[in-house]
Structures are given as structure tokens and as C-alpha cells.
């Protein structure tokens, strides 16, 4: 049986053997669980929202601000977070930020003020800011180009499959322990996982259970990422902003994130208040779109890598799933035209399936960003996606302040179409940007 959690007892790699080891899949499992916990601590407030707002007397505009507070800091710190990822080893950095955001999550269960909730949600955004740049850097280190979309799809699916199964569980926990107990328990889970991560994660060159054949497989061709990052200089920032194709990625990520943020924040409230579905039933029905998104991201990653291996161009193999996914995401608008909870869930599931199907967009950071600045470009990319977490919750709170969410769903659907157009007209040919040697 494969022991997926292996770690070194010294600094030497185990001698090579005929067949490559498969330790990269164990590392991928660690990243997957970290993503699940990451999104548990982002989304638990959406489950708690109705009870929390009632107890603390918070209207929809104030709840929109609370939902948005995470995005203020998360988005603004993506560039510094990306720079940090280029400088600090993932083993240590992930353990530190996991610990800090888990403490902030736990503390949410101990306060009773609007300002306190804003502050703690903002602090979670601070500590989670480097998380997805770390994930992308790990995938780049541990997987060759031909496997990277599948790897990114797998760990990205953690945000969907985790929430699909956790949403009913979180609703049950709140029913038993209240919204305060929900936050406290979520924080404890994260603290435990921070210890597990530090014990078991290693970079490929420091992992004693990996053999030379697997290292050679990881490092073949485009996967040779042992380039030592240059010391960061502020002038390096221009490389994140002077290329049209990067702006296409950034705009597309903002639009993709907008659909996701609706599901991560206002979705349970929408089901309960717009469609009249009670907490426990909304927890169960609300898990279905997350399952749809999970299937979307898994199918997309496998399909994209299969097309690459079959000789299909990157323009088709990488961009087609993202384009199709963004179009499907716009179908959220059709939920406005039915009163049936089941048909509503069907349209929402189709839209969230599209979001999942387009979620391999991170592959473009690995494929297009200059090698010297993968962390930096990943940070800017996530910054633009993170801006949706700032703008969308507030916009929905304003659009739905009278209890009608229909304008909000139109808003989200139109943004998805804008993302589709950004990939068509701005991204262009999928190829790595090479920085001139004199810069």
C-alpha cells in the first residue's frame, strides 16, 4: 500500500529504482485537504449568516460588508503574498498562515459586535492571502506540464467537494452548537491541520521517499523550475501589468470569482429568504451545486490534460474548458424564472458546474507567467480574483436589500459573460512570457 504521508529523517533522497515513485500524489492530497479547510473558514459565515444577523441585529447591507471584509485584505495582499511565496518554503509558510487564520476563525465565535466581525474577517483575509499562490507553486514544483492541469483541478476541487459535504454538516453543527460553536470548532480543525502539514510536507528535493525516476519525471521539459528567483525589486512589478494576455487572465479571474463568491456568501440566505427553504433543507439542497462544481473542475482538468497529451494545441486544450465554463456560469440568470426549488437548484447547479469547469484557469499562471515571477504573477492573478470578494458581496447586499435577489443574479450572469469575452479577445496564444535578459 502506498504511504502517502512520508517525510525525511535526513537531507538525502532515497536511491533510485526502476519504477518512479508516486509521492507527488500524496503531496497533492495534503494540498487538497488544506484547500478544504481554507474554504471551510471562508464559508462557515454564510451558513451562520441568518442566525448571526438576527442575534446581532444586522441588516443585509451590514452583512454584505461583513462578507466583503475578507476580500478587502485578501485581495490587497495578493501581490505581497505572491512575493512571500517566492521567498519562504511552503512547509513553513503554510503552517504559519494556517495557524493564524484558524485562530481568527475561532475568535469569531467569541465576539458580539459588528466591528469585531469586520476585523476578524479582514484578518482571515490577511492570513489566507498567500494560500493559493502557495498551492500553485507546489503544483509547479511537484508536477510536470502534462499533469499540471489535473493536479490543479484536483486541489481546486477541494473548495467544491469540501463545501458540498460540509454545508449540511455545518448546518447540523450550527443547529447543535449555535453559530458561535460553529466558528470555534472550525478554528480547532485548522489548528490541528497546521501541525499535520508541517510534519508531512516537503519539497521534492528534500523528500527522502522520492526516487530519482520520479524526480526526472517531475523535472522533464517545462517542469524544470529550479530557477532561483531573483531578489525582488519594485521594478519587477511592471512585468505583472504590461502584458495584454495577463490582463485577460486577471479580468477572467475576477469574473469567474464573482459567481463563486455568490455561492460562498449569499447562497444560503438566498435559498432561505428568496425560495423559502429552511436551514436544514437548504443545507442539503445547497450541497448539490457544490457537487456540480466539483464534477466540473475534475472533468475539466482531466479533459484538458488528455487533449494536451493527444497533441491538441494549448489554445484549445486549456482555453476551451474556461470559455465553456464561463458561458455556463451565466445560466444562473435562469433561476429568476422559476418558483420551483428543484428547478432553481438545477439552474444553480448548472451555473456552478460551469464555474468549476473554468476553474483550471490557474494553469495559465504556470503556462504564461515568466518563470522568475510565478509567485508574483500568481499573486496578482489572485488579487484580481479576490477583488470579486470585495465588490460582489456588497453589490448583492445593496441589490437585494429589499429581499429580492433577482437583480443580483442578473448582475452575476452578466459578469460571467464579460469573463468569456476577456479570454476571447485578450488572452491570445498560450505561451510563456520571456523577460529580456537585460531587464
pLDDT of 10 over the 70 cut? no
Q: pLDDT confidence of 221, banded at 50, 70, 90? A: low
Stretch 77-93: mean pLDDT: 83
Residue 229 has which C-alpha cell? 528567483
pLDDT value of residue 335: 93
Of 302 and 36, the one with more pLDDT: 36
pLDDT value of residue 116: 93
Of 294 and 379, the one with more pLDDT: 294
Alpha carbon distance 254, 311 (integer Å): 30
pLDDT of 15 over the 60 cut? no
pLDDT value of residue 228: 52
Domains and CATH numbers, the chain: 23-206+219-225+238-427 (1.20.1250.20)
Task: State the SS3 of the chain.
Answer: CCCCCCCCCCCCCCCCCCCCCCHHHHHHHHHHHHHHHHHHHHHHHHHHHHHHHHHHCCCHHHHHHHHHHHHHHHHHCHHHHHHHHCCCCHHHHHHHHHHHHHHHHHHHHHCCCHHHHHHHHHHHHHHHCCHHHHHHHHHHHHCCHHHHHHHHHHHHCHHHHHHHHHHHHHHHHHHHHHHHHHHHHHHHHHHHHHHHHHHHCCCHHHCCCCCHHHHHHHCCHHHCCCCCCCCCCHHHHHHHCCCHHHHHHHHHHHHHHHHHHHHHHCHHHHHHHHCCCCHHHHHHHCHHHHHHHHHHHHHHHHHHHHHHHCCCCHHHHHHHHHHHHHHHHHHHHHHHHCCCHHHHHHHHHHHHHHHHHCHHHHHHHHHHCCHHHHHHHHHHHHHHHHHHHHHHHHHHHHHCCCCCCHHHHHHHHHHHHHHHHHHHHHHCCCCCCCCCCCC
pLDDT value of residue 198: 94
- Asked if 307 contacts 404 with a C-beta cutoff of 8 angstroms, the reply is no
pLDDT in tens, 366-409: 778 777 777 778 778 877 887 888 899 999 999 998 888 999 99
Query: Phi and psi for 19 in degrees, rounded to 5?
Result: -95, 135
Alpha carbon distance 438, 435 (integer Å): 8
Alpha carbon distance 220, 52 (integer Å): 52
pLDDT value of residue 223: 41
HSE (CB half, 13 Å, CA atoms) of 257?
22
Tell me what the pLDDT averaged over the chain comes to: 83
Q: pLDDT confidence of 234, banded at 50, 70, 90? A: low
pLDDT value of residue 224: 46
Residue 110 has which C-alpha cell? 467569541
Q: pTM for the complete prediction?
A: 0.70
pLDDT of 161 over the 80 cut? no
Identity of the highest mean pLDDT range in 310-314, 403-407, 410-414: 410-414
pLDDT value of residue 232: 57
pLDDT of 133 over the 90 cut? no
Amino acid at each position: 500500500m502506498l504511504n502517502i504521508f512520508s517525510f525525511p529523517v535526513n537531507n538525502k533522497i532515497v536511491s533510485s529504482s526502476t519504477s518512479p515513485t508516486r509521492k507527488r500524489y500524496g503531496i497533492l492530497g495534503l494540498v487538497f485537504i488544506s484547500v478544504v479547510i481554507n474554504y471551510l473558514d471562508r464559508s462557515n459565515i454564510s451558513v451562520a449568516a441568518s442566525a448571526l444577523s438576527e442575534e446581532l441585529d444586522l441588516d443585509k447591507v451590514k452583512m454584505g460588508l461583513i462578507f466583503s471584509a475578507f476580500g478587502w485584505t485578501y485581495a490587497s495582499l495578493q501581490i505581497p503574498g505572491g512575493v512571500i511565496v517566492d521567498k519562504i518554503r511552503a512547509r513553513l509558510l503554510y503552517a504559519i498562515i494556517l495557524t493564524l487564520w484558524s485562530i481568527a476563525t475561532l475568535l469569531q465565535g467569541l465576539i458580539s459586535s459588528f466591528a469585531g466581525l469586520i476585523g476578524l474577517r479582514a484578518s482571515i483575509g490577511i492570513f489566507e492571502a498567500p494560500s493559493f499562490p502557495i498551492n500553485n507553486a507546489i503544483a509547479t514544483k511537484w508536477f510536470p506540464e502534462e499533469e499540471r492541469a489535473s493536479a490543479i483541478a484536483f486541489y481546486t476541487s477541494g473548495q467544491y467537494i469540501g463545501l458540498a459535504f460540509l454545508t449540511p454538516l455545518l448546518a447540523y453543527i450550527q443547529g447543535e452548537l449555535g453559530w458561535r460553536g460553529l466558528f470555534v470548532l472550525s478554528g480547532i480543525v485548522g489548528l490541528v491541520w497546521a501541525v499535520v502539514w508541517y510534519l508531512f510536507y516537503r519539497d521534492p528535493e528534500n523528500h527522502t521517499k522520492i526516487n530519482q525516476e520520479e524526480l526526472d519525471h517531475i523535472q522533464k521539459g517545462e517542469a524544470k523550475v529550479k530557477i532561483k528567483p531573483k531578489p525582488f525589486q519594485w521594478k519587477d512589478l511592471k512585468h505583472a501589468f504590461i502584458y495584454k494576455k495577463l490582463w485577460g487572465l486577471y479580468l477572467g479571474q475576477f469574473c469567474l470569482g464573482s459567481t463563486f463568491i455568490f455561492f460562498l456568501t449569499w447562497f444560503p440566505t438566498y435559498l432561505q429568504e428568496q425560495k423559502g427553504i429552511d436551514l436544514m433543507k437548504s443545507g442539503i439542497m445547497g450541497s448539490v451545486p457544490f457537487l456540480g462544481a466539483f464534477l466540473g473542475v475534475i472533468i475539466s482538468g482531466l479533459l484538458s490534460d488528455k487533449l494536451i497529451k493527444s497533441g491538441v494545441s494549448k489554445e484549445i486544450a486549456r482555453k476551451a474548458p474556461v470559455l465553456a465554463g464561463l458561458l455556463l456560469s451565466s445560466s444562473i440568470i435562469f433561476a429568476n424564472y422559476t418558483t420551483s426549488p428543484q428547478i432553481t437548484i438545477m439552474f444553480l447547479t448548472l451555473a456552478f458546474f460551469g464555474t468549476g469547469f473554468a476553474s483550471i484557469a490557474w494553469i495559465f499562471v504556470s503556462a504564461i507567467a515568466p518563470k522568475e515571477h510565478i509567485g508574483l504573477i500568481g499573486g496578482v492573478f489572485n488579487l484580481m480574483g479576490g477583488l470579486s470578494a470585495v465588490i460582489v458581496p456588497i453589490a448583492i447586499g445593496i441589490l437585494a436589500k429589499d429581499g429580492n435577489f433577482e437583480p443580483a443574479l442578473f448582475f452575476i450572469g452578466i459578469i460571467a459573460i464579460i469573463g468569456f469575452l476577456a479570454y476571447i479577445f485578450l488572452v491570445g496564444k498560450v505561451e510563456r512570457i520571456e523577460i529580456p535578459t537585460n531587464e
